[in-house]
Structure 1
Amino acid sequence: MRGPLVLACLTLLGAEASAQEVVKIGHVAPLSGPQASFGKDNENGARMAVEDLNAQGVTIGGKKIKLELVAEDDAADPKQGTAAAQKLCDAKVNGVVGHLNSGTTIPAAKIYNKCGVPQVTPSATNPELTQLGYKTVFRLLANDNALGAGLANHAAKQLKLKRIAIIDDRTAYGTGIAEVFKKTALANGVEIVDQQATNDKATDFMSILTAIKGKKPDGIFFGGMGPQAGPMLRQMQQLGLGKVYLFGGDGVCTAELPKLAANVKTIENVVCAVGGAALDKRAQGVEWKKRYDAKYPGQFQIYSAYAYDATMVLVDAMKRAKSTNPAVYAAKLFDTDYEGVSAHVQFEPNGELKNPAMTLYVYRGGVRVSTN
């Protein structure tokens, strides 16, 4: 039989549990299709942040908070992306980390803006996103203007290349970064000998590469993702393009690219860029990566650290606003001054990251290595 003291304790525990406010953080990325490994990596980063915060214990506006991750799959498809965004709005999430791709993030941003939910993308890099004029959009890494220009400058000034062909995958990300690369390369006196298009599901590039081979390029820029870059590198090897550089943005720059390329020799000709400082160059990044690898062995790709920071930044703004209400805390995101694992996070008035770093990578012995 329970005595009065036991009942009183149980009542207090129940009251404490009921006093906890559940704060929902939405996350959207491709969890199916060719880019699923990228999407899962992002989700892992956001989930890790939620678990860390819950373990620390978070109080906002005098209330104890329990964070919950609401994860959705957009399959890198714009239609599924907008459907997922509406689903999160209907679920009344308090903030969103995502989406992964520019092609899904840009149309989804309109929906989040309409329902007033702040959105921090850890990976969408098309400059158009922050040109929409929404006060709910934030980006946690350098955009394609920085990545495309940085790669073109490296190709022209450091590698002294003269003839470059361009391939893009017709997505908002691929075409956007390819156009920036082209504009900067031309300004540096580089000749664009050919420009071809594919799609983000393709795996056969033989006809495109054969046409390009006839133009005798010393470099190829690919605006697209790793699942396409891997087969492209294999086919470059088959066609005798073993001395031709392959440039790509962050979508190409994955730890698993050598595996996708079956470790062909052409992997050593890849130069790619990521919009942030290398994790191994930041003390916080080194420690975080150890924890990530222990928790999610073999799953790290590129953006999970940014997804982790994006989650932390949303909650940091809630703390400073003393409110989890998006209408109240959204404005506080513009005042962010947060030391993350990927960067020191501050935002420009349009939601872009202030002073974003860019890291160039190459592959040596099947391992991605930063060059700066």
Structure 2
Amino acid sequence: MSKRAYNFNPGPAALPLEVLQQAQEEFVDYKGIGMSLMEISHRSKEYEQINAETQELMLDLLGLDSGYQVLFLGGGASTQFATIPLNFLKPGKVGSYIITGSFSDKAYQEGKVVGEAVIAASNKAEKWRSLPAQSDIQVDPNSAYVHMTTNNTIEGSQFSYVPDTGNVPLIGDMTSGILSRPIDAKKFAMIYAGAQKNLGPSGVTVAVIRDDMLTEEPKHIPTMLRYTTHASNSSLYNTPPVHSIYMMNLVLKWVKENGGVAAMEQRNMEKSKLIYDVIDTSGGFYEGNIDPDSRSIMNITFRLPSEELEKQFVKESLQQNFIGLAGHRSVGGIRASAYNAVPYAACKALANFMTYFQKRNG
């Protein structure tokens, strides 16, 4: 096998090598059935077993034993920005949004397209550097829900607490942070995440929705956009992305076999510390984009003294087999996405490269 790249892509992102190898072994002939999973019916007993098992694994890893439905949806997490208000934003109610980065802002904009949306808190004026405290969040009592993004992929920030929204249902976009550390999932009425960061390959989005949010079927919107449609059919109303869900099944088993979410958090803290320590001891050569108390252990963002040096950093990093370190095109800079499947050795190698680069260019 050729040398594996140090994959810091923000998504689609690194997958565990063991998962890729198992999927490779089963790709042509899944468990002796003479067909690939890519070829079989989603009504087959083989796929229905994967579908049910993956739902159970997701609930188990989130610490939810009952009272929630796991849905497998298409369209990416971005489609949920509109689907959420379509399903839950009733006339006379407002959708409240905690805006802490590009994706939560996009969710807010979609909420305004569908109905009335208001801002419960925003750190945009501070250029996203520090996340709102609980006291900064003002929830409109007429809210149908409060929406938040728990980890900001582009900016590199991550909530350290779950906001208290009282009796108003809390909805969390966890696309780039799900299963990276333990959370009290019971505080959320809905959690959703695109798979392509911590759960598997692109092609499927997971939504975990509390049962009381699914009691009314919103017949004013198309059938496929109703969460109740997918919940009542165990995500088999139409053909699901079979292979993406199978890959997620393998990733969830990998998380469980490697100590669960608590072990993932410990590894992720150790990995991110390697890089943050280089930033913090660089004397300003590397400057973190986010205040230390709001930093993400998933997406590590920083700048260099000039854009020219940043371009040189990315160019030289590619020559050293580091992939995906250029910051998002909307903000520039450098970003290292150290998701669950990114090994410690990759982060150690990056920290060493950063130190070496500063010695030659500082």
**TM-score band w.r.t. shorter chain:** 0.3 to 0.5
Structure number with higher relative contact order (C-alpha < 8 Å, ≥ 6 residues apart): 2
